[in-house]
Every structure is written in C-alpha cells, then in structure tokens.
A and B are shown apart, each in its own frame.
Chain A
Amino acid sequence: MKPAPFTYYRPTSLEDAAQRLRDGADDGALILAGGQSLVPMMALRVAYATELIDLNALDGLDRPRVEGDSLVIPTLTRHATFHDARAAPAPLGDLLACVAAHIAHYPIRQRGTFGGSLSHADPSSEWCLVTATLDGTVCLLSADGPREVAARDWSDGPMSTTRDPDEILTEVRLPLPEASASWGFYEFNRRAGDFALGMALCVIDLQDDRITAARIGIGGIEDHPRRLPEAEAALIGRAFDAAAMAAAAEAAMRAVDPMEDATTSAEYRRDLTGTVITRALEAARLRTLALADPA
C-alpha cells in the first residue's frame, strides 16, 4: 500500500465522527467503513483523503433490526451478514441473501458494508438497487443533526449522491414487503463477482391471479439504479404470464437511458435490460407458483 499521506482518526461516537468530519470535510477528510473501494483507490492514488475517520471501532452499527414495518440496516452492516436469510424477516431475508451472494467475492463481502456501498454509489451497486426498488430511506448525520433522504432522491449522477461532504450515512431503512409478495433477482456479468453489466430486482403482489402491485428496479444499466414505473405499469392488473413479462421488458427497454463504456455499448445494455427483467420476473413467477403450491 502506498497511498498519498493522510491522517487517521478513530472517533468515540457518531457525533464525534460528525464533528470531526465537519472540521475536515472541506480539506478532504473521508469516512472509512469497509474500505473495499476506498482503500484500493487510495493505494492507486485515484482517490485522496487528508484524513480517514474510521467508524469501525463504534459499537452497534453492524446488526440489522426490525423497527415497525421497516428493516433498519446500520451503516457498518457487512454484506456477508445477509448470507444468513434470518438476518431479516421473510421474504426480505431471502431476497437480501440472494442479492448478497452476487456482491463481489466472498472475502470482500466479509468486510464491505451496506453504508459504504450506498455512499460509493456505483451504478452496479446491488444495495443501491435494493434500496431504490424497495423505496428505502437513507439516514444521515452531520454536526447540525440528522437528515433523511428518500431513495429516489439519493443519486446525484454517476458515483455521486446528495449526501453533503460533512454528512455521515448512519443507516438505511427498508420497508418490509408483504409476506405474500414474491420477488425475483437476476444479475448478468461476464465473470462471477464482477460489477453487473445489468441486473433487475422485482417484487410482485398477486391477488386472485392478477398482479396488484409491482416494483421493478434495474442496476448497472443507467448511471444509478432506479425503479422503472413504465415497466411496473405494464404488469398491473394482468395475469403473471409470459405476455405480461414481455410487455414489462419492452416498456423497460424503451424507458431506459443506458450508459456506454469502453467495452459495452448503450444498445447492448438496452437489450440486456429486457433480458434481466424477464429473467428476474421469471424467477418471481416460479416463486409465486411455489407459494401457491408449497408441496
């Protein structure tokens, strides 16, 4: 490791951390959580920090809990916490376990954090996709006090958020889906553990074999993960069948504004949008069948 010089501070409380960040943010002080993105970027000298404020010694920031009808995920909750589906009530626990298995590689999941992933805001962040699709709430703390940001207002462009430099992400609240909801997730990448070229998460409510509510989120396609209301609308009131899934995929492909990079064109990502949504919906449909007929 050979980063540019920085100082290291280990705060005694979140308030202490917030005050320290207020004092140093303008000069380039940064919060250190799991360090799985920040530390390599500093070693490569593509990221610079004058000071690292390390939250890792603070207690009580790494165990998710249920409060009311939300799952509260404190900022230092490691990705691997969700390997265990019991970390959250069903069906959310199963959903998070499925998604967590797609985040990077096993060692990274032991250290990387939910809050770090939200703050880093990579377009292919699985946790950003989950938070956007479920309409979660991001909770922040600065020296002035707490602030809450709705998931749809979280992104501010690629790898950028509406968090102010002197704010600390303290926790994320995810509304618990209906116990009867079925869900599906599909991620496409070229190698296991890579950043997704495209992924979709859907949560579907059915009543009397008709879709009454639908959430469809995509990640890796645009500069940040988000819900696609056009695709959701294409499902409402319909039977959960191939035609409905195709309609949702078509609507999604029309609605997205895909990114382009060195190896992947916007056209490819647009087509992939339809594929990952279709496959996520198919996974949800199979779960619906399993729910209807548990035998």
Chain B
Amino acid sequence: MTQSNAPLVGQSVPRREDRALVSGKGRFLDDIASPGGLHAAFLRSPYAHARIGTADLEEVRAMPGVVAVYTARDLAALLPGGQRLVTGLPSSSIAFALDRPILPEHETVYVGEALAMVVAETRAEAEDAAEMIDLDLDPLEPVADLENAARHDAPKAHAHLPHNRLARFGFSYGDIAAAFDGAPHVMSRRFRIDRGGAHSMEGRGVLAAPDAMTGRLSVWSSTQTPHALKRHICTLLARDDAEVEVTAPDLGGAFGPKLVTYPEEIAVAAAAQALGRPVRWVEDRREHFLAACQEREQLWTVEMALEADGRIRGLRGTLLHDHGAWTARGLNVPYASGMMLPLMYEVPAYDLDIIVTVTNKTPVTPVRGAGQPQATYVMERLLDAGARACGIDRAEIRRRNLVTPDRMPCERPLKLRSGEPVILDSGDYPRTQATALEGIGWHGFEDRRREARARGKRLGLGLANYVEGTGRGPYETVTIRVARDGRIKVNTGAAAMGQGVGTALAQIVAEHLGRDPSTIDLTLGDTREPYGFGGFNSRQTVVAGASADAAARVVRRKVLQVAAHLLQMPEENLDIAADLVIVAGSNSGEGLSLAEIAAASEGLPGYRLPGIDTPGLQATERVLIEGMAFANGCLAAEVEVDEATGAVHVARLFLAHDCGRMVNPQMVDGQILGGLAHGLGNALYEKMCFDDQAQPLTASLADYLLVTSAEMPVIEIAHTESPSPLNALGVKGVGESGVIPTAAAIASAVEHALEDLGIEISEAPISVQALHAAIRAARPGGPE
C-alpha cells in the first residue's frame, strides 16, 4: 500500500476513518445508547427581541412523560458556577460584555434562542410539552438591519445597552492621505456579503450521563472543542476536572459552528446531573437554522488608490460587521477580514475602520473561512475595477501587485491578534496565478467567448488570489506511548470532525516508528489530557502535527536506545520496520519486537533501566507555534450567464494551490473540493434571509439553497509545495482553502460575461433576481 522507500508523509494513504463511516459503523452522537435515558426539547423564542414574562408550568409538568421543566430561574439552582458562557476571546476593543446566558431570564434577543427546556421520557413527549409552555413574551423593537444597527438612533438589540456598537478597531499603516492625494485612479465601491451557515450533515447534539456509583459525569457532544466544553461544564457546574469526561464521537461535519460551547450543552449536562439519569438532545435541522452560529454578513465601503500602471498606492475604508446577538467568539472574524484585505499584495498604505455591531440575529462565530472570504472578495473586486480603470488585463494588475517570492519570508506591517507580526512564510504567488491562468486557458479565451456570443451564449472567465492563515497556536498536545503489546498509542487534544486528522497524524507518527500506520491506535479530542484546544482555523495538521512529529522522534530514540542495549549493538545500526527493531538495511524479517522493547523499558526491580534515563517508551510534546503558516492559491472560474433568467452556470473551476508540504494529497484535495462547494454556495446560492422583524425566512433546506452535487462544476487542482519554515514538517493547513476565493472568482467571471453591459458585481451571493434586474437595467431601452 505504501511505497517502501518514499516518505510516508506525502503519500495518499487511504483514510483510516472511512471503512467504518461508509459501512454504517460510524458512531455519531445519536448512535450512543443510554439505557434509561431521557430526552430534552427546547422552547425557542419566536421573536427576535422580547421581554420575557412568566409562565405557569404546573400543567406542563403534569403532561405525559414529562420529568422536568426548566426556565432560567429553575436552572440557576443547578449552576453554582454561574449562568453565563464566557466563550469570547478577550479584546480591549470590546465596549461591553455580551456573554450569553444558558437560558435568558428577562429578555430574549434572537429568534430560536432557547428559553426553556423540557426533559421527558421521549423526544416527542418533550416536544409536546415544550409546545404547551405558555411563556409571556412582550415583543420589543428588534435590530434587523446591519446598516441601521450602527446608527445612534437605532433601537437597541439589548434593552440595557447604550448602543449596538460592540467594538470599534482598525488597521492602519503608511501615509494614507498621501496615497490618495493626486492618485491617477481611485476606485470607490460598496460591497455587501450576506449571512449564511455551514450546515454540516449532522447537527449539534449532546448526551450527558451521570454515574451514580462514582458521581462522575460523562458527556458526549458533537463538538469541535471537547476541551473547551469540559472546562465550561466544570466551571458552571462547579465540578472538579477529574469528575467530568467529555468525548466527541464521530462528527458528521462541523465547519466552524461546532467551535464554541453552546447553552444547550450546559443545560443538558446540568439536568442529567440533577436528575441522576442520562439526558440527550439532538438538534433538528430547523433548530440548526435558528440557533447554530452563522457568519459572513459584512458591509464594506472602500477605496483603492492606484498608479496609472495599476500599482496600488493605498487602501482605505470602513467595514461594518454583523456580530449577532451575543458574543460567542469575539472579534476574530472581523479581525481576520481586516488583516487579510491587503495581505498578499503590496499595499503601501492602509487604513480600515472596523465597526462591530450587535443585531437581533443568531450569534456569529467562524464558518469555514472565518472572515477571509469576505476580505478576498472585496480586494479582488477592487482589483477587477482597477484593471478596467487602468485599461490593463485583470491578471496583469494582480501580477504587478502580488508579493514576490524573493521577499519570503515577508513581514507585513500588520499584527496577529496575539500582537506578533504577520509574516508571510513562503510561497510563490505570481507563479501560482500563472498556473491557474494556464489551467483555465486564460489566454485564447477571447476567441471562445466571441464564438459563444455569436451563438447567443455569454461566457466569462474570472480569477481570485488568496492567502489562508492556518495553524493557529499556541499548541496542541500529543502523547505517544508504545504499549506493552507493541501497539503505538497516540493521544491528542486534536479533534476529528470528518476531515481525516487521524490519518494525517498516523502518517506523521509512523514515519518515525516503523512506517506502518496500522500499528497505531489514536485517541483524538482526548480530554483526559488536561491541555488541549481542538479543531478550528485549519490548525490541526500544523499544530498537532508538529507535536506528533516531535513526540515520535523522542519515542523513536528511546526505542532504539533500549534495543541497542538489549542487542548490544550501536543505536545507529538499528531501524524500526513495522513492529520490529531490525538491523538497518536488513530484510531477514528478524528483529526485536516493539512489545519486547516496551516491556523491557519498564525496568526490573533492582536493575538499572535498559539504556534509558526515564522508564517507558513515552513522550508528550506541546510544540509552541507563534506565527501562522499562510497557504495560498489562485482560483480561475469559467461561467455562462443566462441573460434571460439571470442564472449563472459555473462550468469549470481551476485551483492552483499551495499548502506547503502535503501530508496526504488525496485528503488535501478532499478538503479543497468541500471548500469549493461551500464557496460556490457563497457565490450564488446560500443566503440566510430575514424580514424587517429579524424573522428568519429561509429556515429549511428547501428555502436555504445549499449546493448539491448537481451544481458542482468540473474542478481541476494543481498543487505546488512551498514548505513552511515555521514547523519541522513544512506543512500548512488546508481546511478553509477552497471556500476563500470562490465567490470572488465567480463574481469576476460574471462581470466578464456581462462586460459589454458594464455590470459590476458587488454582492455575494449573486441572486438570479438581482442579476436579472441588473441586466435589464443595463440593456439598451431597459429601465433606468
């Protein structure tokens, strides 16, 4: 299966996760049995903003199967450590705290917010009872519109707030006034990016089971961050670290919205502990639409100053960011947007004012891409406009401004949220772009376009460059131990959510320990390890990978030291092949087994350890990662626009891509394809619509347009590997790669298809109706 001499890292080793998943043996949250278990259902707010009154719960409590009903006041008694989830990252720019309550007591601030919980013998009985709760709600004026939310006379999203502007911060460097003063071209534009979700196939879910004998609480949750959930449960339920175990079972996708700990997880854990019985809640799709975190809504008012030859002089403007109703993660999304905007181009002066606004909508946390797709969209749209103004090719204006490879690693006048400087670590951006142009057939397309136009078809090509910040530190723990049976045990805080992190880590570890991934047993998202984070920010292969690599090297050394002692041979002459230590280069099939070496490494009473200073074949590493590894790419898109309906058909996508050294190229492609599908949604389909009372209008999969296989175009990918100097493996993350450039590249292509009509695309997604209206307005004789 693996080539004998080639490094294991870099091969498309089949995913170890797949056999179970595709044969129905996956173990998702709702597959976990809980004999005698109860089921929870939540009463959710029908209003975007309302004052909460009282409810008479006596009748509801007497309904068939009902075991308990909790409002905020009932739950308070079960939460000695507090009733709010502090999940936001700190920032001095934040004007006021908006940590969300487990259940709100006085005021509800978005449609779908959990207001009360029923626990019953069955889910249907719990739903029946939740439906019967007659909670007094007095509607208040909601903040439904992002633009209005920031105004001083706007209604307040929370009645007690002084205003809705949660934070104001920015990025600024260079002489911005001089950059615009006398600039030959200034492109001034407004861009709107709409709100959407991630829509993993499996929604959220949690099961909590108390153990009457030990008093311990076991919790399973479909989460990206089991460590964070454990910390919050221990804090709010006032339990000791050793009394709570959190496990993330197989996840049917996550993509960001399972990043933060949610109120439902705490409420279910508290009820299970109080009732002394297992309690389960599994989110349905409607709940996912209403209460799972969303992202993307931003309004940009920006200007780009250009030299006559298209070189950028400066970039300035305002970003208005929709924060949703509570602070569930903090300022990381708008921060990423602002940092990303000028990052990969030579922008001598930059000034961006960021206003983060509270609205009466579902809280915002990262959705795959996390602010980067929006910034890429804005920058690439400005460059297309700039190319037209300067009369040069859209690819050429980019080539003239891209950071060049001779400057790598290239420190930018920007800072990470840690305060560390932003350093583009490696990559050849102009070459990546050239690869994409070559792949899509950029040169010579005009002939095809003209020929198609003659047949009444409008074709267009577009492109977008991007970088992706990956590998967020500070660390992830990896412990490797050779067990007495010779199996290699790898335990880590890195969490699986379907992306194949287990396969990647096994490859990295096996590289040093026998080169046979089948000898490795993995425990991911392991909360018995006290220090860990989990899966987000395209980080795990980079951060956990670095720790796995370091730990495997230490364990390898110990294995060889023990073996050298036992065999009375120099360490340098030995190697590990599968589960045997052999004489290097030998293929006799003879050797000392890892099991024998592991047993010897434990020591014997009264004897010295065999060639090692500490017992056992074990190492724990937490390699500290400070900078971020920046993957990059260029996406080229070919579209056909149906002039009569406004429909956009994406015919082809070509992605030139560089995520450093690839651990498993097939899994990299898998990540990219999934990201591109999501990006296609952001470009043309996915939009969470609300009315003027902030009522969601697209809360089903019939109304919210997720991309299906039928919409997927032909996709080609070309890889370049520019190793990152930031980690020993040279790897960069890839989880969000595909989603970042897609809306930008498709908008570019649509503009190209409609070039003669002078239509500019300034919204994502592009709806058929909006494009149709623009075409009608632009046609000779069309409405103004």
Contacts and interface: CB of A to CB of B under 8 A. Distances in A.
User: Are A and B co-members of a single complex?
Assistant: yes
Given A45-B127, A188-B647, A262-B697, 5 more contacts: A5-B128, A194-B702, A195-B702, A268-B772, A272-B645
A2 B689 contact: no
A193 interface: yes
B708 A262 contact: no
B705 A271 contact: no
B393 interface: no
A177 B334 CA distance: 61
B93 interface: no
A190 B41 CA distance: 34
A192 B711 contact: yes
A3 B124 CA distance: 7
A265 interface: yes
B769 A192 contact: no
Interface residues of chain A: helix, strand, loop or mixed (majority): loop
B164 to A, nearest CB: 24
Most buried by A among B646, B769, B776: B769
A45 B131 contact: yes
A91 B767 CA distance: 36
B705 A262 contact: no
Interface residues of B, number: 32
A19 B644 CA distance: 51
B123 interface: yes
Most buried by B among A5, A192, A271: A271
A142 interface: no
Nearest to A278: B644
Top 7 A-B residue pairs of the complex, sorted by shortest distance between their CB atoms: A192-B710, A262-B697, A275-B644, A268-B769, A2-B124, A2-B127, A262-B689
Contact of A263 (B644, B689, B711): B689
A31 to B, nearest CB: 22
Interface string A190-204: 111111010000000
B685 A191 contact: yes
Interface in A174-220: 188, 190-195, 197
Contact of B708 (A3, A44, A191, A268): A191
A15 B617 CA distance: 78
A198 to B, nearest CB: 9
A4 interface: yes
A188 B697 contact: no
B131 A4 contact: yes
Interface of A: 2-5, 43-45, 188, 190-195, 197, 262-265, 268, 271-272, 275
A165 B634 CA distance: 59
B425 to A, nearest CB: 39
Interface string B136-156: 000000000000000000000
B131 A264 contact: no
Contact of B772 (A4, A44, A271): A271
Contacts of B705: 190-191, 194
Interface in B652-709: 685, 687, 689, 691, 697-698, 700, 702-703, 705, 707-708
Given A3-B124, A4-B131, A190-B685, A264 B769 contact: yes
B768 interface: yes
B620 to A, nearest CB: 45
B45 to A, nearest CB: 16
Contact of A193 (B127, B646, B708, B772): B708
Contacts of A188: 645, 647
A44 B710 CA distance: 27
A197 B124 CA distance: 35
Interface string B748-784: 0000000000000000000111001100100000000
Contacts of A191: 685, 705, 707-708, 710-711
Contacts of A193: 708, 710
Contacts of B691: 262
Interface in B600-629: none
B106 interface: no
Nearest to A279: B644
20 contacts: A2-B123, A4-B127, A44-B286, A191-B707, A191-B708, A191-B710, A194-B702, A194-B705, A195-B702, A197-B768, A262-B697, A262-B698, A263-B687, A263-B697, A263-B698, A265-B769, A268-B768, A268-B769, A271-B772, A271-B776
Interface string B236-253: 000000000000000000
A244 to B, nearest CB: 18
Contact of A4 (B128, B284, B645, B685): B128
B484 to A, nearest CB: 48
Contacts of A44: 284, 286, 700
Contact of B124 (A5, A190, A265, A275): A5
B684 to A, nearest CB: 8
A43 B124 CA distance: 10
A193 B705 CA distance: 11
Contacts of B685: 190-191
A235 to B, nearest CB: 20
Nearest to A274: B644
A164 B645 CA distance: 38
Interface in B275-313: 284, 286
A44 B286 CA distance: 8
Contacts of B703: 262
A153 to B, nearest CB: 29
A105 B700 CA distance: 16
A86 to B, nearest CB: 26
